[in-house]
C-alpha cells in the first residue's frame, strides 16, 4: 500500500471565492470583461494548486474557456476550484464560475474551465506533487475526463507536428468556408 502521507484529499485544497462585480470591471458593452474573469480564474487556480502542492505554482495551460452567460455589474460572482487530476509535477484545477443576481437570487453558470498548473521550487525547477485521494463518484468522473482531455491534447499536438498544412494540399477544403485565398 502506498504511503498515505504522499496523498491528499480533493477537499483539502478546494477553494471558493466570491466577489461583487463593479463598474470598473466592465467592458464597453456594460458586461464584466472576460479578461477580468480570466484573471480571477488564474488566481483561484494558483491558490488551489499551491494549497495542494504546498509550493509555488505556474499556469502551464488553460483548456477551454467558453463564456456561456454574460456577467452583469452588481452580480455576485462565485468561483469554485478543486484539483481534478494530478500528474508527476502538474495538476489540473477545475473551476466553475457562477453569477448570482443578489436582488432575485437567480444563479447562472457562466463558465467552467481547466487550468493545468505546475509546481515549482525556489529555483524554478518542477517538483513532484502529492497524489490525489478521490472519495466520490464525481471526483472519479472528473479525473477520467482529465485523462481523456490529456489524450486529446497529445493527439492534437502530434497531428500538428506531423502535418505541414501546405496550402496546396488544403485549398480545396477552404472552398467550404467564408474565406478568400489571394496568394500571389
Residue 41 sits in a domain whose CATH number is: 3.10.129.10
Share above pLDDT 90 across residues of the chain, in percent, rounded to a whole number = 84
pLDDT in the model for residue 64: 85
Q: Do residues 62 and 113 touch, judged by C-beta distance below 8 A? A: yes
Q: Is residue 103 part of a domain?
A: yes
Local confidence band at 1 (pLDDT 50, 70, 90 cut-offs): very low
Whether the Cβ atoms of residue 77 and residue 54 lie closer than 8 Å to each other: no
| Predicted local confidence at residue 133, as pLDDT | 97
Does 180 map to a domain?
Answer: no
Residue 48 lies in a domain: yes
CA gap 49, 84 in Å, rounded: 10
Asked if residue 106 is part of any domain, the answer here is: yes
Structurally, the chain folds into a number of domains equal to 1
Does the residue 177 lie in any domain?
A: no
Provide the domain limits for residue 130.
4-135
- For 68-124, what is each residue's pLDDT tens digit? 999 999 999 999 999 999 999 999 999 999 999 999 999 999 999 999 999 999 999
Does 86 fall in a domain? yes
Q: What is the pLDDT of residue 2?
A: 46
Percent of the chain with pLDDT over 70: 97
DSSP state of 122: T
**Angstrom distance (rounded) from CA 18 to CA 136:** 25
Residue 67 lies in a domain: yes
Q: Give domain status of residue 161, yes or no.
A: no
More confident residue, 57 or 169: 57
Q: Are 108 and 69 in contact (CB under 8 A)?
A: yes
Give the mean model confidence (pLDDT) for residues 132-153: 96
Residue pair 7/131 in contact by the 8 Å Cβ criterion: yes
Task: Tell whether the model's pLDDT for residue 4 goes beyond 90.
Answer: no
Query: Are 67 and 52 contacting, i.e. CB atoms less than 8 angstroms apart?
Result: no
Mean pLDDT (the chain, rounded) = 94
Amino acid at each position: 500500500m502506498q504511503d498515505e502521507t504522499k496523498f491528499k484529499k480533493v477537499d483539502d485544497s478546494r477553494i471558493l471565492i466570491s466577489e461583487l462585480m463593479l463598474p470598473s470591471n466592465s467592458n464597453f458593452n456594460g458586461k464584466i470583461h472576460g479578461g477580468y474573469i480570466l484573471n480571477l480564474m488564474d488566481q483561484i487556480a494558483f491558490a488551489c494548486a499551491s494549497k495542494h502542492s504546498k509550493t509555488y505554482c505556474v499556469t502551464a495551460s488553460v483548456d477551454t474557456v467558453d463564456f456561456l452567460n454574460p456577467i452583469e455589474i452588481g452580480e455576485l460572482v462565485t468561483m469554485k476550484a478543486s484539483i481534478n487530476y494530478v500528474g508527476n509535477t502538474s495538476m489540473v484545477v477545475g473551476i466553475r464560475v457562477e453569477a448570482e443576481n443578489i436582488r432575485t437570487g437567480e444563479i447562472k453558470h457562466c463558465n467552467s474551465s481547466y487550468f493545468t498548473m505546475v509546481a515549482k521550487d525556489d529555483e524554478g525547477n518542477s517538483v513532484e506533487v502529492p497524489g490525489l485521494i478521490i472519495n466520490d463518484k464525481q471526483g472519479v468522473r472528473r479525473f477520467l475526463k482529465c485523462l481523456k482531455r490529456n489524450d486529446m491534447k497529445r493527439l492534437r499536438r502530434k497531428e500538428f507536428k506531423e502535418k505541414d498544412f501546405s496550402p496546396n494540399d488544403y485549398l480545396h477544403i477552404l472552398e467550404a468556408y467564408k474565406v478568400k485565398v489571394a496568394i500571389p
